[in-house]
Chains A and B, each alone.
Chain A
Amino acid sequence: MQFFVYFTMEEGKPMSPPSPEGMAKMGQFMQESFESGKIVATGQLPRETTYVTLDKGEFSISDGPFVEGKDIIPGFTIIETDTKEEAIEWTKSLRECMGDGVMKMAQLRSTSQDDLKPRL
């Protein structure tokens, strides 16, 4: 099973980087996750979004409106686990490294014939 694990910015709250201890824990944790093959991909969604709009047969391409505040995804990870519980445990560990806050997790469901395995 693959899960999309991410967090969003909280409105009005600037993101402060974790403590040196948190970062060290996170480094260790991510290292292990990469080595065990649990991480499929990591990335971030930039603020800039391109809109491809079809209106009465006419396409228009525009940059923006830019994603704001609570919709920004500063970082995401796609993980592969055998069970949902395992994915929750992984997500808890990552959140612990970052300190208090919400972490969101959604299972990626395959809609194509082959199992969905996005490898970026």
Chain B
Amino acid sequence: MREEISKEISIIYNSESGKVLASLFRILGDFELAEEAMHEAFSIAIQKWPEEGIPNNPYSWLISTGKFKAIDSIRRESRGKEIVTEKFFPADKEHTIEKNIIEDDQLRLIFYCCHSALPLDSRIALSLRDICGMKTEEIAHAYFVSSETVKKRISRAKALFREKKIPYEIPNKAELTNRMNAVLHVIYLIFNEGYSASSGEEHIRKDLSNEAIFLCRTLVNLISTSESMGLLALLLIQEARRESRVKQDGEVITLEWQDRSLWNQNFIHEGLELLNQSIKAGKMGPYTIQAAIASVHATANSFESTRWDLIVNYYDMLLKINQSPIVELNRAIAVGQKDGPSAGLTLIKNLMKKKKLTSYHLIYSAKADFLKKLGEKEKAIQSYQKALELVNKETEKKYLQNQLSELIN
């Protein structure tokens, strides 16, 4: 029984701690105080719930417990903080907090943790810990850094909150787009960190991606803009392909060779629905366009029968918004599929002439792929070798080595 309840508490921690923190932050008006109060509330829950049972509304229980603990500790330490409790949170109403107040609390916390005045790694650490309810050690483990590093990143954020007096608020309409972009960027980075293949650590990485999806879902439920739906669509369609991307020994499998029957059709379907809404909801932004590209792959029966013409069009749209050489490279690869390897090769050579991406291994491996298809074996070998010199990730190294030895033999 006891064990069951503590399991239950840890589930509640995962799903509710972000909400509890968000509301306590509003009530107490101080981030660090709110954090302490949230942790206090959970440790009291661990003592009391096994005996008294889990309250009907754990969320409200945790908030009022946290609130009283905080008031106690302020009185004890006589920090002289002004408590705004009564104004925001009349005592008699504490068990019927309206849904929209909870939602506003959550939104405010998301915007706060992803504020662009904070360094990116602080935003990521803070979001994972305070919105997703991950423990410091778990974050450290997922990012292959020490707990100390994560703690430093978080305290850096807290110092900046104080220094820059960052307000705890939902941004107004004029600021909303920029602030939303900052949030979406954090989610995108967390997902990518979790998605980049890394042997042996696959399960940890998957957690990160799941947290990013959780965060994005929360955001879409709170504000569904074209781009927030677009990003969620992108994450779901990418996640759908997870199982097919890596061999047992950790070597990456490129899209061309992935077993499409392993793709998670539920995720794909949900992603397509969202993409559909996102396209109708506003001007297509970068996340929506990337989701659209992913959707073309996800609905193709094979690599060969992929609608490369649509993909090239989407890359053209993306280039209009974002003149990035990486996008140009991806477009070149798509053109190579649509119009043949020599068309792709010409574009890649043009990029290289402009001294773009010259230390990026993927441009050499893409070049090598096209050269191989054109029968230029020697040049292809050289290009794979160049890619191998530049690649960092073990899993990709394995892939390139196999390509190379296939050519040599």
Kindly list the 10 A-B residue pairs having the minimum CB-CB distance in the complex, ordered from nearest: A17-B272, A17-B276, A20-B296, A24-B310, A34-B283, A27-B279, A20-B299, A27-B284, A42-B281, A75-B280
Does residue A69 face the partner (Cβ distance < 8 Å to B)?
no
| Proximity string of chain B (247-286) to chain A, C-beta cutoff 8 Å, 1 when within and 0 when not | 0000000000000000000000100110111011111100
Give min CB distance, A58 to chain B, whole Å: 19
Asked if B282 and A42 make an inter-chain contact with CB atoms under 8 angstroms apart, the answer reads yes
- With A17-B273, A17-B276, A18-B276 as contacts: A23 and B282 at CB distance below 8 Å: no
| Proximity string of chain A (42-68) to chain B, C-beta cutoff 8 Å, 1 when within and 0 when not | 111000000000000000000000000
Give min CB distance, A7 to chain B, whole Å: 10
Contacts A/B (CB < 8 Å), 25 sampled: A17-B272, A17-B273, A17-B275, A19-B299, A20-B307, A20-B310, A21-B307, A21-B310, A23-B275, A23-B279, A23-B295, A24-B292, A24-B296, A24-B310, A24-B314, A26-B280, A27-B288, A27-B289, A27-B292, A27-B314, A31-B317, A34-B282, A42-B280, A74-B277, A75-B281
Does residue B313 face the partner (Cβ distance < 8 Å to A)?
yes
Complex Cα distance A18/B295, Å? 11
Which chain A residues lie closer than 8 Å to B292 at the CB level? 20, 23-24, 27
Complex Cα distance A19/B174, Å? 35
Interface size on B, residues (CB 8 A): 24
Interface size on A, residues (CB 8 A): 20
Asked if A30 and B310 make an inter-chain contact with CB atoms under 8 angstroms apart, the answer reads no
Besides A17-B276, A30-B284, 5 other CB < 8 A contacts? Answer: A17-B275, A23-B279, A27-B284, A31-B317, A44-B277
- With A20-B307, A24-B310 as contacts: A30 and B296 at CB distance below 8 Å: no
Residue in A closest to B307 when the chains form the complex, CB atoms: A20
For chain A residues 10-48, which have a beta carbon within 8 Å of chain B? 15, 17-21, 23-24, 26-27, 30-31, 34-35, 42-44
Give min CB distance, B255 to chain A, whole Å: 15
Which chain B residues lie closer than 8 Å to A27 at the CB level? 279, 284, 288-289, 292, 314, 317
Asked if A77 and B299 make an inter-chain contact with CB atoms under 8 angstroms apart, the answer reads no
DSSP class of B's interface residues: helix, strand, loop or mixed? helix
Asked if B307 and A30 make an inter-chain contact with CB atoms under 8 angstroms apart, the answer reads no
Complex Cα distance A15/B317, Å? 27
Complex Cα distance A17/B283, Å? 19
Which chain B residues lie closer than 8 Å to A15 at the CB level? 273
Asked if A30 and B277 make an inter-chain contact with CB atoms under 8 angstroms apart, the answer reads no
Which chain A residues lie closer than 8 Å to B272 at the CB level? 17
Asked if A31 and B283 make an inter-chain contact with CB atoms under 8 angstroms apart, the answer reads yes
Give min CB distance, B228 to chain A, whole Å: 14
For chain B residues 285-324, which have a beta carbon within 8 Å of chain A? 288-289, 292, 295-296, 299-300, 307, 310, 313-314, 317
Residue in B closest to A94 when the chains form the complex, CB atoms: B280
Which chain B residues lie closer than 8 Å to A43 at the CB level? 281
Residue in A closest to B273 when the chains form the complex, CB atoms: A17
Contact residue among A31, A35, A75 (Cβ-Cβ distance under 8 Å from B277):
A75
Asked if A30 and B279 make an inter-chain contact with CB atoms under 8 angstroms apart, the answer reads yes
Give min CB distance, A22 to chain B, whole Å: 9
Asked if A31 and B295 make an inter-chain contact with CB atoms under 8 angstroms apart, the answer reads no
Complex Cα distance A26/B280, Å? 8
Complex Cα distance A32/B55, Å? 54
Residue in A closest to B291 when the chains form the complex, CB atoms: A23
Residue in B closest to A39 when the chains form the complex, CB atoms: B282
Which chain A residues lie closer than 8 Å to B310 at the CB level? 20-21, 24
